[in-house]
Structure 1
Amino acid sequence: MSSTLYNDAILKLATDNPIDERLAEPQGTSEKRSPICGSRVTVDVNIGADGRVSEAGMLVRACALGQASSSLLAGNIVGRTPDELAAARDALTAWLAREGAIPDWPGLDVLAPALDYHARHASIRLAFEAAAEAAAQAAQVAQGPATEANEV
């Protein structure tokens, strides 16, 4: 195990996820899996009337980096819009590929030691990918079924 990659901050986050159970009746849910290491993250989301995440649930079965990333997502997902989650997912992907600045998401700088470990990037992205997909599903459910009056 690389001491630079698996530092104390990452290991603490890996064991400190503020969301440690799934929602009973989510409006949106998504499971993402890394084919490289087998890490798996499931995210459940409910969207409130204001169009923002009102509650979230998670099941994380991932390596330390996937767990740490999931903790960072969990600590800041409530109150975000589906568009904000999609933007965070895209910014994280770009940053890991060294094609963009560090995302505007609290705490992600702790994952900087993983930038040179490309095989670990998929696990780091799992929670953000699942959250963006679950939030998009939940937003559609929260809007209700389309009617002739609101169809385009």
Structure 2
Amino acid sequence: MSETLYNSEILRLATSIPHQQRLTGAQGTSERRSPICGSRITVDVVLSADGRIVDLGQEVRACALGQASASLMGAHAVGRSLDELRGARDALTAYLAGQSEDPGNWPGLQIFGPARAHSARHASIRLAFEAVTEAAERASSVEAA
């Protein structure tokens, strides 16, 4: 893996974001914004009866790192439970902060290794995972009500 912050894989991911349409029947929605760079991601989810994501939509207005993160999140979020989403969010946060050498078991997150030295970039990388987790939490609370 190249140690360049904006490498060809980051740029490839940034141009291939899945689920780039908002959902009209979302059970949970979250919009997250990075105050440092202005990146913004909105995520909509629909959960199954057992609490797993069955449908996902996202609107991404972010830098290349935020777009790459949204691409990785979107590629693997369907079928995931709230606990898995929280785990991925927390593992990514710890990895970026240097509190862990392991980005967790979400596919592809090791690509953000070079960004660990650039704390100003961390918020935009975390946005998609924070947004999908919050959207699933909101959907879960609707289901529980």
Scaled to the shorter chain, the TM-score interval is: over 0.9
- Identify which range, 111-120 or 124-133, moves more after superposition: 111-120
The answer for the alignment partner of 2:124 in structure 1 is 123
Q: Would you tell me which structure has more helix in proportion to its own residues?
A: 2
Matches within 5 A, 1:40-79: 40-79=40-79
Aligned equivalents of 1:32, 1:87: Cα separation in 2: 18
Matches within 5 A, 1:91-106: 91-100=91-100, 101-106=102-107
Deviation string, structure 1 residues 83-127 (Cα, Å, up to 9, x no partner): 111111111110000102222100111111111111000000000
The answer for the alignment partner of 2:36 in structure 1 is 36
Aligned equivalents of 1:38, 1:51: Cα separation in 2: 31
Letter in 1 for 2:127: L
The answer for the alignment partner of 2:137 in structure 1 is 136
Letter in 2 for 1:37: C
The answer for the alignment partner of 2:18 in structure 1 is 18
Report the alpha carbon displacement of residue 141 of structure 1 after superposing the two structures with TM: 1.6
Given that 1:19 and 1:57 are in contact with CA atoms closer than 8 Å, whether structure 2 keeps it comes out as: yes
Identity across aligned pairs (percent)?
A: 59
**Does 1:110 pair with 2:105?**
no
Ranges of 4+ aligned residues in structure 1 off by more than 4 Å: none
TM-score w.r.t. structure 2 length? 0.95
The answer for the alignment partner of 1:7 in structure 2 is 7
Report the alpha carbon displacement of residue 28 of structure 1 after superposing the two structures with TM: 0.4
Aligned equivalents of 1:111, 1:127: Cα separation in 2: 14
Q: RMSD of aligned C-alpha atoms?
A: 1.1
Instruction: Provide the secondary structure at the position in 2 that maps to 1:132.
Output: helix
Letter in 2 for 1:85: L
TM-score w.r.t. structure 1 length? 0.90
Aligned equivalents of 1:120, 1:132: Cα separation in 2: 20
Gaps in structure 1 of 5+ consecutive residues: 146-152
Gaps in structure 2 of 5+ consecutive residues: none
Letter in 2 for 1:13: L
Given that 1:45 and 1:55 are in contact with CA atoms closer than 8 Å, whether structure 2 keeps it comes out as: yes
Letter in 1 for 2:119: H
